[in-house]
Structure 1
Amino acid sequence: MASTSFRQSMRRLWALDKFSYSVRVFFALTGSMAACYYLNEMRLLIPLFLGIIACALAETDDNWQGRVQALAVTLVCFSAAALSVEVLFPYPILFVSALALAAFVLTMLGALGERYNAIAYATLILSVYTTIGVDQRGGEITNVWHEPMLLVAGAGWYGVLSVLWQALFSNQPVQQGLARVFRELGIYLKLKSSLFEPIRQLDVEARRLELAKQNGRVVAALNASKEIILHRVGGGRPGSKVSRYLKLYFLAQDIHERASSSHYPYNALAEAFFHSDVLFRCQRLLRQQGVACQRLSESIQLRQPFVYDDSFAEALGDLHASLEHLRIQSNPAWRGLLRSLRALAHNLGTLDRLLSDASNPDSLADATDSSLLDRSPRNLKDVWARIRQNLTPSSLVFRHALRLPLALVVCFVMVHLIHPSQGYWIMLTTLFVCQPSYGATRRKLGQRIAGTAIGLTFGWALFTLFPSPLIQSFFAIVAGLVFFVNRTTRYTVSTAGITLMILFCFNQVGDGYGLFLPRLFDTLIGSLIAGLAVFLFLPDWQGRRLNKVLANTLSCNAIYLRQILEQYTHGKRDDLAYRLARRNAHNADAALSTTLANMLMEPGHFRKEADVGFRFLVLSHTLLSYLSGLGAHRGTELPEPLRGQLIGDAGERLVHSIEEVATGLAAREAVAVHSDAEEALASELEQMPEEVDEDQRLVQTQLALICRQLGPLRTLAAHLIKDKNSAAQVA
């Protein structure tokens, strides 16, 4: 029994996405430490460790062949950067000019994608590491090759481990990515179930806001999973294992569309069926399906079979029985709402089937179009086109590419003005803290200072309690692990870890105590420079571009609606064009949520539109839910005359209305608060005789819900544009 429990615990540990990362880092750090002890050359430890850190920061997911190519590029960039620092350091003006130019070029290369951004950022970090090493020697350049060779050797050692790991466990990141997708979907479904709370005057808006934020997490997980799978598929046909994961990915997309769809006004349902159990049954079934998604996530992560609970079919049967009981009562006031509940029950039934299919994904038919969009540049022409597209002051990348070199130059000047001990740590702090947005920089600034203070405090205590160099070397490895495991989730803990690691490494070759005050002072100065740079130089206040973010959200929704209408016209098919339109709509929704979160970190004057933005987020997410509801029933067959009337006429008019509001927001031009044409269209769509076919009724109801959502969106858009134009006139 104990051995079974131990194996299960080890399986869970192995399934953690950070465990494999930790193992690679542990082997790299331990191997370097052991080599230095064996050779009795502890002075080699710091550059080797710094090279390992830089290479690990440059690492992105890929198959082993892609990782080999990325490693080769990384080592070339590291070698060029380290040698350039060694050669130019004695010439301050040349050095700082080259550093500023490199910072601009490397930051612009980040516009090409995550892989290029990681390599470029790590190259900048390694440049500063080399600068710190030269400064440790008093600026003497005795052997140009020595320090760069050690830094690149550390990077190469970690890179080899990374390539071997990718070759041995290529599909592990796919499993972890898909597990995250279904875990986030499970949370989304549970949150969605809270909307069916049969409480009068339920605060639907607050719950929709939470749902919109969670939708952003689902979208981020789906995007990350797609990139991981794409790296395994490439341009060829996927193998049997990857094909299975690809089917699960498309299944997750279908579940997401069903989960995010809406067919009903929640408050009206709660008011009408307050004394019935039907909403409880909807809530219970949706919550059960959320639990099933989380169980599926665990099964994928632990590589265990997923068994869908048959009792869910019983819960679905109970829901249909409740609906039948309400139908028999023949209450005229419930007629329209019961139709919405039947559409909901149908949707929940489809969700049930999709989750049941997940128990045997191999039996699922291959998608007619299983292609995934690869956004990475394919040739030099694509590279130049992507960079040229971002060579404009409106680009966040371009602003950051100008801001970061300026901040580094200020750091360099500061080092030479006050000549602090270990002064180039100021530059390193600025490089880590200075982010593209003010909100992200402010967040990292506080976390960096707090983490450094915590690390120094623990360092003082551990130095006192454990003076043995061997024990301290063990602490250095553990601290390095803490840094890597927490760097993307808990930056304060991560900073404390790297501070401890540096202290212990320096204590192996000199006086670690001498770093305490300089490290704290450098962190404060570097953080202050980063904060001022983002605040004063080309600040990217989210409120100033809120109208464009809102416009993009509506534009993507309009494109999604047009693709849905195409599907109703020509038949359901999950082709790349449809999946791309759906994903872009959800990406835009998530981007709006992120923008508003960053706005809340900005000074009060710049976040005055945040309230309007959050109300817009609720409305736009509701609109997206109605679109998803329409998209979820694309298989509905409509007669030809009706198809032309609903799809060709009403649908296209809705697309044009959404585009009209989006265009007004983007250009800051007046948007009509009220549209008689939209009001008439909504009334026309809502007026349906009793004998209307249920399929037609469903489509027509969804179009009516979409139409009714345009009025509140117009009101908020007009309010936002009016306020912005008034502020511009005052300015």
Structure 2
Amino acid sequence: MKFKTPPVSGKFIATLPPLLSVGIIALLVYRFHLEKLAIPLVLGVIAGGLVDLDNALSGRLKNTAVSLAAFAASSLAVQASLGNTALFLPVMALLAFVFTMIGAVGLRYRTIAFGTLAVAVYTTLTYNPDSASAWYLNPLMILCGAGLYSLITLGLHILLPHRPVQESVANAYTALGAYLDAKACFFDPDEADGIEERQIALAMKNNQIIHTFNLCRSALFYRMRGQHRHPRTTRMLRYYFAAQDIHERASSSHISYRQMADKLKNSDLIFRFLRLMELQGQACRDIADSLREGRTYTPDPRLARAGKGLKQSAAHYAAEHPTAPEMPLLQRLADNLQNINYQIANLDSGLPEAAAGDLRIAHHDSAKLKDAAQSILSQLNTRSATFRHAVRMALIVVVCGLIVEMLDLNFGYWILLTAVFVCQPNHSATQSRLKQRITGTLGGVLVGSLLPYFTQSLEAKLMVMTAGVTLFFLFRVNKYSYSTFFITIQALISFSIAGYDITQALPMRMADTVIGCLLAWAAVSYLWPDWHYLQLGKTGAAAVAADAAYLRSVLERLEHGGGEDVDYRAARRLSHERAATLSSTLSDMSGEPKKYGSRLHDGFRLLKINYSLIGYISALGAYRDTLRRDPEHQPFLQRYFPAAAQVCALMEDMSELPEDTFRQRLTDIRAAIKDLRPQEGGEQSSILWQQLAATADLLEPAYLALNGRAETAPDVTNGQDGGQSAVQTAPKAEAV
């Protein structure tokens, strides 16, 4: 019998493992009077949840075995060294450094490594020198809790093997819908002002898309490695490829918003563009809902009618303005949106033609120990953010351990727990986590102070403990302050179950949290602080170089034919990921404006330029399937591709070139593009030339922004080049 995914919330399914795990533990504690074991068992469940990774069944079994083995080694090492300061501090420092460095290999390594470090800290929380229990009992209970959680997740995977992939694809379409909404705002002629704010908002939505696409790609990758591919996996693969193609077309730049808004403000054409993109955004959310509810998506009839209305409006505008120079670009934009309509309407009809020839998915996590070791060794220097963070973590655990040992604090390792969880690789993330941790803990302590009045019985305490862990996992990713609130309540009630007086513990827990947060803040603020290592020029140059690789990949397919393959998708993804990294770097820098000064202006200028570059390249990429290579177009194409190759080469070399060399090469490129411009007719040649000219026109402002001279750059985002460019007749397009 075929088991169909029930139409329930993905969040509800995600809370089932902790709910069932802690529920079983609560039942055992109540039935067999195991109150003293409640704390390590629940901490084991939490550790198991921290390393829970989506995978196929065989992959889950391997992850479980590796995680439990790492947990055992970590917990036993800490347990054996507790009570001996001279041994405990080096052991904890070594564990903190090694497991943080392992995170440099990839997401899966980083997840298991952090969970293993958390187990080491959890072991300190269960330590009681006055206990008569066997020394290995607490580590064993932590392993039992983690094993129970893993066993339940395996059972749920057998029942719902494809639900995580389906949820990941649904999240991707939700993010895609938000991106299309943000893009539609550029076509509102009544909101012509505030273009920069909309560009930044669009960049943020793009970052979210890249994040969800990466999670989706990872989920599909681990289900496609076997010999037999389930039909539902193939269906999700089709949805994923379609989402990528829609994103590329939606992010492409064909027109200058300011010019078109002014010309079309009294025409219904621009409103047709706006309405169609809004309906497409809603369609993406409807697709996401259908995936979450386990039903087949039915396209909204309004989408087809809006596409037809846009086509008729464009034809009417062309008839009224037959010689309008913007008409080919408007027509191309309309065709691009019609293609998005086609993708949405035909999601379940088969793989997109562009993707049908290559169904591979690239993945960045290496499974080979040799490659993993090389990744770690390459990071062993102060230029590596991972190395700097690993050293910070090692020093933090040493300082926390010294404070606990020197002051002889009872259960003082809460300080260590707080510091390890709050300390993040960069200052802004740590500061945000610090505020949420203190707020959540304070709320939890205040509510916890009332618990003794409402939880007199063991049954009530066990129910609160179960609810606390479940709600912690529910809010762990999106609402850290809420998750801290619930885990604080859980911790306090667990201590109460174990027989401790939580009334006396409340002020100490709050003090421990504040001390741990302050230590984490001091570590990221004074030990190799970010502002000494955030290199805007290096990050920006990497982003532009990735754009060049994307452009080369597009040109190769324009020249030789072919749709998407794994190399093309990888180049496109890397371009967007480097743009997201640049955006993240600027976000970190903007938190310390006094330390970065004018570089922030250069950075935001470069960010806008970089997204404009991606927009122009995406427009060329969207054109790759319709390019005609017949004898009529060959003379232009034979001159076009060498000129485009020069643009790629200059983008790749930009960060290393002295200004005179850069300007000489740019002058040569501008001359080649000027000579290349079609003199008459030829819509295809005009579109190819326009996108290349617009790309080349951004090279000078990009170079000046990379070198800290953005204020001298021509303001291309306003459609003006100040007479600097030799291609003055090229229309300027923002990232629209």
Checking the alignment, whether the CA contact within 8 Å between 1:43 and 1:509 is kept in structure 2 is: yes
2:724 match: none
C-alpha distance 362-326 of structure 1, shift in aligned 2 (>3 A) = closer
Counterpart code for 2:448: G
- List per-residue Cα deviations over 1:496-530 (Å, max 9, x = no partner): 11100011111112212122011001001111111
**Which deviates further from its counterpart, 596-605 or 547-556?**
596-605
Q: TM-score, length-normalised on structure 1?
A: 0.92
Distance 1:225 1:296 in 2: 15
- Once the two structures are TM-superposed, the CA of residue 354 in structure 1 deviates from its matched residue by 0.7
Which one of the candidate residues 627, 637, 642 is aligned to 1:643? 637
Q: Residue 557 of structure 2 corresponds to which residue in structure 1?
A: 567
Q: CA deviation at 1:716?
A: 1.8
2:57 is the counterpart of 1:64: yes
Q: Aligned in 2, Cα 1:668/1:218: closer, same or farther, shift over 3 Å?
A: farther
Asked if the contact 2:268/2:313 (under 8 Å) is kept, the reply is: yes
- For residues 347-386 of structure 1, the aligned pairs below 5 Å read 347-361=336-350, 367-386=356-375
Provide the residue aligned with 1:244 in structure 2: 235
CA–CA distance in 2 between the matches of 1:158 and 1:419? Answer: 34
Aligned AA for 1:148? Answer: P
* 1:716 maps onto 2:705 in alignment: yes
- Greater Cα shift, 605-614 or 61-70: 605-614
Superposed, which structure 2 residues align to 1:338-417 within 5 Å? 338-361=327-350, 367-417=356-406
Three-state SS of the structure 1 residue aligned to 2:707 is helix
Cα distance per residue 1:251-279 (max 9 Å; x no partner): 11111111111111110101122211110
Q: CA deviation at 1:201?
A: 4.7
1:157 is aligned to 2:148: yes
1:52 lines up with 2:45 in the alignment: yes
Q: Which amino acid aligns with 1:280?
A: F
The match for 1:328 is 319
Call closer, same or farther: CA 1:603–1:327 in 2, change over 3 Å. Answer: closer
1-structure distance, mates of 2:539, 2:354: 38
Q: In the alignment, which residue of structure 2 is the partner of 1:697?
A: 686
- Look up the match of 1:264: 255
Q: Report whether the alignment pairs 1:604 with 2:594.
A: yes
CA drift of 1:92 comes to 0.9
Q: Which amino acid aligns with 2:258?
A: N
Q: Mapping of 1:422-441 within 5 angstroms? A: 422-441=411-430
> Which residue identity does 2:317 align to in structure 1?
L
Query: Residues 315 and 721 from structure 1, CA distance in 2 versus in 1: closer, same or farther, beyond 3 angstroms?
Result: closer
Counterpart Cα distance in 1 of 2:406 and 2:253? 62
Secondary structure of residue in 1 paired with 2:450: helix
Structure 1 residue 606: Cα displacement: 3.7
Flag the 1:668–1:500 CA change in 2: closer, same or farther, 3 A: farther
Which letter maps to 2:505? L
Q: Evaluate the alpha carbon distance shift between residue 668 and residue 386 of structure 1 in structure 2; reply closer, same or farther with a 3 A threshold.
A: farther
- In 1: Cα distance, 2:210 partner to 2:351 partner: 25
Please report the TM-score for the alignment, with normalisation by the length of structure 2. 0.91
Q: Deviations over 1:74-104 (max 9, x none)?
A: 1111111221122111321111111111111
1:683, distance to aligned residue in structure 2 (A): 4.0
Contact kept? 2:605, 2:710, Cα under 8 Å: no
2-structure distance, mates of 1:560, 1:242: 28
Aligned residue for 1:458?
447
Name the structure 1 match of 2:471.
482
Question: What's the RMSD between the two structures over aligned residues?
Answer: 2.4
Deviations 1:277-326 (A, max 9, x none): 11011111111111111111111111111111233232222222222222
What is the CA distance between 1:433 and its match in structure 2?
0.5
Question: For 2:613, what is the secondary structure of its paired residue?
Answer: helix
1:728 match: none
Q: Please list, as runs of the form range in 1=range in 2, the aligned pairs for 1:572-611 lying within 5 A after superposition.
A: 572-602=562-592, 604-606=594-596, 608-611=598-601
Give the aligned partner of residue 199 of structure 2.
Answer: 208
2:602–2:710 contact (8 Å) kept in structure 1: no
Shift of 1:680: 3.5
Alignment of 1:456-535 (within 5 A): 456-510=445-499, 511-535=501-525
**SS of aligned partner of 1:428:** helix
SS in 1 for 2:381: coil
Q: Aligned pair 1:620/2:610, yes or no?
A: yes
* 1:296 counterpart = 2:287: yes
Local SS of the residue matching 1:264: coil
Q: Deviations over 1:403-459 (max 9, x none)?
A: 100111011111123333321111111110011111111111111111100000111
Instruction: Write the letter of the residue equivalent to 1:137.
Output: P
Q: 1:126 aligns with which of 119, 128, 132?
A: 119
Judge conservation of contact 2:6–2:294 (CA < 8 Å) in 1. no
C-alpha contact 1:507 1:513 (8 A) present in aligned 2: no
Q: What is the aligned partner in structure 2 of residue 137 from structure 1?
A: 129
Between the aligned partners of 2:471 and 2:287, the Cα distance in structure 1 is 29
What is the DSSP-based 3-state SS (H/G/I as helix, E as strand, rest coil) of the residue aligned with 2:409? coil
Q: Alpha-carbon deviation of 1:640?
A: 2.6
Change (3 A) 1:492 1:608: farther
8 Å CA contact 1:307–1:359 kept in 2: the answer is: no
- Asked if residue 115 in structure 1 is aligned to residue 104 in structure 2, the reply is no
**Could you tell me how far 1:200 is from its partner in structure 2?**
7.7
Q: Aligned partners of 2:256 and 2:382: how far apart in 1?
A: 43
Aligned partners of 2:263 and 2:711: how far apart in 1?
39
Larger RCO of the pair (alpha carbons < 8 Å, separation 6+): 2
Task: Give the superposition deviation at 1:376.
Answer: 2.2
- The residue identity in structure 2 corresponding to 1:597 is S
Residue identity matched to 1:617:
L
Secondary structure of 1:719's counterpart equals: coil
SS of residue matched to 1:233: coil
Q: Which runs of 5+ in 2 are unaligned?
A: 713-736
User: Within 5 A, what are the aligned runs for 1:539-550?
Assistant: 539-541=529-531, 544-550=534-540
SS of residue paired to 1:544: coil
Q: Offset at 1:55?
A: 1.1
What amino acid sits opposite 2:529 in the alignment?
P
Q: Is the 8 A contact 2:448 2:492 kept in 1?
A: yes
- 3-state DSSP of counterpart to 1:376: coil
Contact residue 543 and residue 606 of structure 1 kept, 8 A: no
Amino acid at match of 1:101: L
2:20 corresponding residue in structure 1:
27
Tell me, what secondary structure is at the counterpart of 2:547? helix
State the AA in 2 paired with 1:564. Answer: V
For 1:337, which of 326, 349, 364 is the aligned residue?
Answer: 326
CA separation of 1:146/1:312 partners in 2, compared to 1, >3 Å: closer, same or farther?
Answer: closer
Q: How many residues align?
A: 704
Q: For residues 432 and 660 of structure 2, what CA distance do their matches in structure 1 show?
A: 34
Question: Which of 61, 66, 82 matches 1:73?
Answer: 66
Decide whether aligned partners of structure 1 residues 682 and 419 sit closer, same or farther in structure 2, where only a CA change above 3 A counts.
farther
Deviation at 1:591, TM superposition (A): 1.4
Residues 6-64 of structure 1 show CA distances to partners (whole Å, capped at 9, x for unaligned) of xxxx955x232x22221110000010011011001211111100111111111111122
Quote how far apart the aligned CAs of 1:365 are.
8.9
Among 229, 239, 243, the alignment partner of 2:220 is 229
Q: Give the superposition deviation at 1:721.
A: 9.3
Describe the shift of the 1:362–1:700 C-alpha distance in structure 2 as closer, same or farther (beyond 3 A): closer
- Displacement of 1:205 in angstroms is 2.4
Quick one: distance in 2 between partners of 1:530 and 1:456? 21
Range that drifts further, 199-208 or 228-237: 199-208
Instruction: Measure, in 2, the Cα distance between the counterparts of 1:298 and 1:200.
Output: 30
Q: Is the 8 A contact 2:85 2:405 kept in 1?
A: no
